[in-house]
Homo-oligomer: A and B are copies of this chain.
Amino acid sequence: MTQYEFICNECFQHYEPDSKTLRCRTCRGTLSIKYKNMEDKSASLPCGPELTMPMPLPSISHYISLGEGKTPTVRMQKISDQLGIEIFAKLEFMNPTGSFKDRGTAMMISAIKLMGISEIVEDSSGNAGASLAAYASRAGIKAHIFAPSSTPSPKLNQIKIYDSILHTVDGTRDETTRAAEEFVKENSLVYASHNLSPYFVEGTKTFGYEMFNDLEPFPDNIVVPVGNGSLFLGIWKSITEQKNRGVIKNIPKLHCIQALNVNPIASQTPWDKSRISTTVAGGIAVGSPPRKLEVLKVIKDSGGYSDSVTEESIMKWQIKLAKHEGVFCELTSAAAFAGLENLVRKKEIGKGERVLVPVTGSGLKEAFPTN
């Protein structure tokens, strides 16, 4: 195993990894995985020709996989022409459970299994819950998934079919988190929070590692829909690792897109945590993202921009992607393209620049009227 420890993203205190340490015990900061030697390749994931990613597992045989990752990158010709830039989409909905979450879940569940844990709790707007349920069933781990009762039915059905115990909460995404946290305390269980677990972000890094093979030259911009920001942060971590190794020289700008209705990161004014608001982009309806400070730092360090998009523009782009490019994504994913349009209009992205957008989740997960 590549030796590693947890490190607090705020005060940089170090911790020995375990399943219950999800925040810094001193300052409550979020945690990341820090390898003691990045060049130690005793356990690493292959991410394309000649590129491997160190893993916090003893060997590849401990990695519980459903075939996640290695998603295709496709050119979006018509909308590129419309916006006057070069757009590439990495189709993350082509993961085993239909969203990018599978990258993080595979790593998190592998680590949890290795620790000998047999029962876990998670809260989710749907995609992470479905992903966790699938990998937990594969690993033989009992999972409790908390989700808002307003979650689209395809996602709730998906969670149930994998044999997880679904707890629906009549409340917001943030109230769902609190209900899960209480259940963890009451039952002394392990909280496998994809928002807090350092293993989850570690897994999403594979997206970034794959990018280096997918696109040559490397994109100038990456536009990501952000709720808690696990993919956003995983991409950034992969970029800094590759920069430190000398694999890349120029780093792309990372742009963060949120829904105008729920934009604690992109809002230009202080966000009222008690504010209850909903958005059609349920996957990014996170009012209190624990990794907010990390995301803000990445936007600053990469020279990126954060922006908010209207409900109308999100819905418009879902249709536009299907009709023009043959890509049917969930509304949350469409928000990134609505944001991209804004960024071009505001000249944050210049004419002819290359842009990569992860298409994070499948349109098949939306609740449409039945026939």
Contact = CB atoms under 8 A, between A and B. Distances in A.
A67 B214 CA distance: 12
Given A67-B71, A72-B67, A162 B328 contact: yes
Nearest to A168: B371
A368 B154 contact: yes
A95 interface: yes
Nearest to A322: B161
Contacts of A364: 98, 154, 158, 362, 364-365
A113 to B, nearest CB: 13
Interface in A297-355: 318-319, 322-328
Contact of A370 (B65, B71, B153, B325): B153
Contact of A368 (B67, B153, B163, B363): B153
Contact of A96 (B67, B91, B369): B91
A105 to B, nearest CB: 10
Given A67-B91, A137-B322, A162-B322, 7 more contacts: A65-B72, A65-B74, A94-B96, A137-B326, A153-B368, A154-B154, A154-B364
14 contacts: A91-B96, A97-B328, A98-B362, A137-B322, A153-B370, A153-B371, A154-B154, A154-B364, A156-B371, A157-B369, A158-B364, A163-B322, A364-B365, A370-B370
